[in-house]
Amino acid sequence: IKEVLHFVKKMILVVLDPQGKVACPNALHMILIWGNMAFPFTAMKEEALWRDETWRLELLVDDIDHNILEWMGHEKTVCLYGGEDIEWIRRFTHNAKEVAAAARIELELVYVGKSKAKERTRKIIGVIQEEGLSHYWTDLTSYWYFWTRLECMLYSKMQQGKGVDNDRIMQEVMTILSFDGSDQGWATMWFGSAEVARAKGDLIQQSFTRYEEWEEPARVKGFVIALREFLQQLHTPQHCNRLILPGIEGGIPEKVICAECSKPMEKYFMY
């Protein structure tokens, strides 16, 4: 099993065809991304599913929270945010609500936690609940599922040889994972299925405190589009992104490109 299927420590899901031959050495990532839609879990099916896929809110949240999809249908602005700095979370949620009121939009804030930080996420959820800062998921498994699916998307795209320079979904997934790898909070703002703006904590806060500078474009173009354009103005060449990739057999490429500036990232090993 170790030699043929490359099983080490992490769980794998081997798919056999009716003749008992290996159809897919590990379909776990396909199951977590698409569920039964990925049947018969072959490389061709995986490629076809990605070919028909786009970066959209439904892909990101799947069926973790049905409220999010309902809000989207009711033309509300949805904000998914993460991080483990509770002071930043307090400031961010306060500023976001103030800007939403000024822009006269319906905004729903949802905390999505931080990957591989179960206990810290649990504590932050307690504060969010006590202070009524935003929506959150009561089941900690939902946070695991959210972040594991993102890692699965990254793994799947890497297996297909995709990169941030030629694949929008790959770029967005790596961006969120790099946000999570930083010490800051972060946020993505969605309107509808595909209208999105995202930034790390310092930039999103700066954009909110300077809302009067993009207030008029927000009225004309829409809140999320205007926010995205303003964030692009704030972006500087000097930045530091950290992307922590799980140790998947054969899944880590020799070169990883920064999703923000498209330059090669330095690689280090963590034990």
Mean pLDDT over each residue of the chain, to the nearest integer: 86
Tell me: pLDDT of 5 over 70.
no
Q: Which residue(s) pair with 110 in the sheet?
A: 80, 135
**pLDDT at residue 204, as a whole number:** 94
Which DSSP state fits 183? S
pLDDT digits (tens, 9 = 90+) for 62-71: 989 999 999 9
**pLDDT at residue 249, as a whole number:** 46
84 and 189 co-located in one domain: yes
Q: Which of 9, 30, 52 is the last residue of a domain?
A: 52
**pLDDT at residue 247, as a whole number:** 53
User: What integer is the mean pLDDT of 93-112?
Assistant: 97
Please report which confidence band the pLDDT of residue 119 belongs to, taking 50, 70 and 90 as the band edges.
very high
pLDDT digits (tens, 9 = 90+) for 120-137: 999 999 999 999 999 999
pLDDT digits (tens, 9 = 90+) for 166-207: 889 998 998 899 899 888 899 999 999 999 999 999 999 999
61 and 164 co-located in one domain: yes
pTM of the model: 0.87
Q: Which of 27, 52, 77 is the last residue of a domain?
A: 52
28 and 120 co-located in one domain: no
117 and 220 co-located in one domain: yes
Q: Which of 10, 37, 52 is the last residue of a domain?
A: 52
Order of strands across the sheet that contains 195-200: 107-111, 77-82, 186-191, 195-200
| Domain interval for residue 150 | 55-271
**pLDDT at residue 85, as a whole number:** 94
82 and 139 co-located in one domain: yes
Tokens of 219: 């009225």
Tell me: pLDDT of 140 over 70.
yes
266 and 239 co-located in one domain: yes
42 and 59 co-located in one domain: no
235 and 123 co-located in one domain: yes
Tally of domains in the chain: 2
99 and 231 co-located in one domain: yes
**pLDDT at residue 186, as a whole number:** 95
- By percentage, how much of the chain surpasses pLDDT 70? 82
Tokens of 2: 């170790």
**Listed residue (135, 113, 133) closest to 123, CA to CA:** 113
Tell me: pLDDT of 250 over 50.
no
Tokens of 72: 């989207």
The beta strand positions in the chain, using DSSP E, are 15-16, 22-24, 77-82, 107-111, 186-191, 195-200
185 and 149 co-located in one domain: yes
191 and 113 co-located in one domain: yes
pLDDT digits (tens, 9 = 90+) for 77-96: 999 999 999 999 999 999 99
86 and 2 co-located in one domain: no
User: What integer is the mean pLDDT of 260-268?
Assistant: 63
> In three state form, how does the secondary structure of 91-151 look?
HHHHHHHHHHHHHCCCEEEEECCCCCCHHHHHHHHHHHHHHCCCECCCCHHHHHHHHHHHH
Tell me: pLDDT of 252 over 80.
no
**pLDDT at residue 220, as a whole number:** 95
User: CB within 8 A of 78, min separation 6: which ones?
Assistant: 57, 68, 71, 72, 107, 108, 110, 189, 190, 191
- Phi, psi of 270, deg, nearest 5: -115, 140
